[in-house]
Amino acid sequence: MHIQRIILFTVLIMCSRGIYAQKTSITKAQFDHVNLNYPGLEKINQLFLSGKYNDAATELLKYYRNRTGVKHLDFNPGDAQKFAGKKVNENTLDLANDILRHKFKPHKGYPAYDYGKNINWQYRPVQDQLLTTFLHRTAFWEPLGVAYRQTADERYAREWIFELRDWVRKNRQGAYPDDQEYAWKAFVVSFRLNHWSGYFNLFLNSPNFTPQFLMEFLNSYNEQANYVVANYTDIGNHRLYEALHLMYAGSTFPEMKTAAVWRKSGIAVLNEELPKQVLPDGVQFELSPSYHIGSIKIFLDALQIAKMNSAENEFPASYRNLVEKMVMAVGKYSFPDYTFPLYGNAFLTNKDAMLKSYKTWAQVFPENKVIEYYATDGSSGKKPDYLSSRLPDAGFYAFRNGWDAKATVMQIKAGPLAAFHAHPDNGTFELWVKGRNFTPDAGSFVYANVGNQENVKRDWYRSTKAHQTLTLDNSNTLINKAQLNKWETEKNLGILSYTNPSYTNLNHQRTFLFIDQTYFLIIDKAIGTAKGNLGIHYTLKEDSKPFCDNKKNMVNTNYADGNNLLIQLLNKDKVNLNEEESFVSYQYQKETLRPAFVFEKPKNDHNTQSFVSLLYPYQGSLVPNIKVTENTGHDPEAGKINLTININGKINAIKQDLNL
């Protein structure tokens, strides 16, 4: 009896997995979206016209398995020969085997979750809408395809086919109230188009990839592509991705009746959006270094797809020129180790990843010797012929004294209002000296709230007090709209001065002085009638082990290698130095406690209040001996700077009128 139950249970399982395989009768309607007049489909068309729909589908599958004129940017059927028998990356194999058990890992910021034997596509193990949208992008299926390509183990192919059919069956349009926020959000649908076109090639030669499944796949793919065409996001990088993924769809499946519509729609949108979304200085308008680089990839992938389809002339020369300017902007806002500030929900990159990007860019723009310089890590090409630089439309400024690992570089953000990923952080900066980023931006930790429910972590990382700038009563600045007052890049004294209408009745004027290409003086002025507690916030790297001297209003790092930083307030009036709780997030949903502090004083009347800070990088364990003399006419509140700075006997006279 026990054996009989096992046999019965096994049969039931096999039946449930094979329920679709039994539906072998292919109907005329399943060909509605296929252009049977497409070159190469003549035999298929004859079978179709004869009413032999099963045979027609069988021939169509043979056609896809043997076609050579269509290329995918990532995965192609012929690739299997190159990878067959090679050892699968252990992590990839673990992910693939987890998927066999319905343990999915849609987002790298979270572990794999069990979605159940009867897959529950609406399961939300954590209240982060990003995890759910990533689930419905279905990128997590890629390990199945990679494992199958290298092992030819049919378990992986069977599972992908089963799960795709299961997804289609359970996630039809309107199947649940919020489907347009998740499974049928146009942005998410477009990513499915992109991923499925690659997986199609990975599994195409599997014996489990049947003519019936082919027709189901093509019909679902057609529905989703048409959905994106009709439901583009209004603005932002989402619209760019949707357009690119429609180009993928149209070029990967040119046999579909509306393939040309998909491809042309994508091209039209990208041509339209490039000048809208990219500022004249070459920075993508969301002002996020990471999303800027992602946008470059979108625009260049589109060019490559167009080239494969002999449609390069559908992108004008101005398109290519502006993308080249985008690439050049990356070098300006980056540090010598190829990392960049974590503004606007950016996450930390690394040199290997950026070198890979630059090598791709160098192939597209071979005549640009500066891009070649970046791509070869300086071994060839031409080093930029400038040091300090600005991207004026984005409000990204950089002071630097060199391009190599020994350089001092300060990246500053003081620009216009930006949408989507922007934080209220005008005036924030990151200081990089001799290979160390002393003051990394907080990052973002998590991107979004869940519906109308606030996310405390998200709100903290976006708060003004989490950045290195001025606050009033620790509240968020209301406007990012910096007005440039002065920008000079003389060798002995570099100057950046701007004014931002940060609060109601309170403007923040911040001036950076880069002195002898060595150290910085930062002058902050709170101008207006508003009253409250003013704070100038500073943050340090998590491993800096700072010493805080409240009496002298100074903080210094204590790195064993001697590469250290002193931050000292030079005010003569009463200012309090207090430590703050602060975090830094280099990766999604991962954070580290790090040192932070704030210089505070009250603003009790209409008079302008100022803070003057010295940031001095030094070598060794002894803190520099600094003496500052205020000369006649020194009046920071009035914009008059007249100081003599003596650091270990080296004297600099700083005299500036910030009103000129």
Mean pLDDT of 303-326: 91
Provide the 3-class DSSP secondary structure of residue 185: coil
The packing angle between helices 90-100 and 142-151, to 10°, is 110
Percent of the chain at pLDDT exceeding 70: 95
SS3 content of the chain, % helix, strand, coil (to 5): 40, 25, 40
Q: Which residue has the tokens 């009253």?
A: 531
Q: Look at residue 384 and tell me whether its pLDDT is greater than 90.
A: yes
Q: Is residue 286 part of a domain?
A: no
Strand partners, 611: 524
pLDDT band, very low/low/confident/very high, at 1 (cuts 50, 70, 90): very low
pLDDT band, very low/low/confident/very high, at 452 (cuts 50, 70, 90): low
- 39-43, 613-617, 645-649: least confident range: 645-649
Provide the 3-class DSSP secondary structure of residue 340: coil
Q: Is residue 324 part of a domain?
A: no
Instruction: Give the CATH number for residue 209.
Output: 1.50.10.100
Domain boundary among 208, 231, 254: 231
The runs of H, that is alpha helices, within 253-308 are: 259-277, 289-308
150 burial class (0-12, 13-18, 19+ CB within 10 angstroms)? buried
At 21 the pLDDT is 44
Measured distance CA(143)–CA(163) in Å, rounded: 14
| Of residues 607, 588, 616, 628, the one with CA closest to residue 528 | 607
Q: Is residue 545 part of a domain?
A: yes
Domain boundary among 231, 260, 282: 231
Q: For the chain, how far is it from start to end, CA to CA, in angstroms?
A: 96
Provide the 3-class DSSP secondary structure of residue 642: strand
Q: Is residue 246 part of a domain?
A: no
The residues, any chain, with a CB within 8 Å of residue 257's CB and separated by 6 or more, are 33, 34, 35
Q: Is residue 306 part of a domain?
A: no
Q: Is residue 52 part of a domain?
A: no
Pairing state of beta strands 506-515 and 396-400? unpaired
- pTM (predicted TM-score): 0.88
At 454 the pLDDT is 58
At 345 the pLDDT is 85
Instruction: Give the CATH number for residue 469.
Output: 2.70.98.70
Task: Please identify which of the residues 53, 64, 291, 374 carries the catalytic annotation.
Answer: 291
Q: Look at residue 259 and tell me whether its pLDDT is greater than 60.
A: yes
pLDDT band, very low/low/confident/very high, at 439 (cuts 50, 70, 90): very high
At 610 the pLDDT is 95
Task: Please write down the HEC assignment for all residues of 189-206.
Answer: HHHHHHHHHHHHHHHCCC
Structure tokens belonging to residue 557? 């790092």
Residue 469: domain span: 389-657
| Of residues 516, 524, 483, the one with CA closest to residue 501 | 483
Q: Would residue 248 show up in a list of annotated catalytic residues for this protein? A: no
At 14 the pLDDT is 47
Q: Select the more confidently predicted residue: 490 or 266.
A: 266
Structure tokens belonging to residue 11? 């049969």
Q: Select the more confidently predicted residue: 80 or 34.
A: 34
Domain boundary among 197, 231, 265: 231
Q: Report yes or no: 375 and 358 within 8 Å, Cβ to Cβ.
A: yes
CB environment 534-553: b (16+ within 10 A), e (fewer): bbbbbbbbbebebeeeeeeb
Q: Look at residue 153 and tell me whether its pLDDT is greater than 90.
A: yes
At 40 the pLDDT is 96
Q: Which amino acid is at 4?
A: Q
Strand order, beta sheet including 408-413? 389-391, 396-400, 408-413, 429-433, 436-437
Q: Look at residue 186 and tell me whether its pLDDT is greater than 60.
A: yes
Mean pLDDT of 490-515: 95
Q: Is residue 75 part of a domain?
A: no
Measured distance CA(164)–CA(202) in Å, rounded: 14
Percent of the chain at pLDDT exceeding 90: 78
Q: Report yes or no: 289 and 332 within 8 Å, Cβ to Cβ.
A: no
Q: Select the more confidently predicted residue: 365 or 310.
A: 365
pLDDT band, very low/low/confident/very high, at 448 (cuts 50, 70, 90): low
Residue 490: CB atoms within 10 A of its CB come to 10
In the chain, the number of structural domains is 2
C-alpha neighbours within 13 Å on the C-beta side of residue 330 = 25
Enter the DSSP assignment of 633: T
Mean pLDDT of 404-428: 90
Average pLDDT, the chain: 92
Q: Is residue 536 part of a domain?
A: yes
At 24 the pLDDT is 62
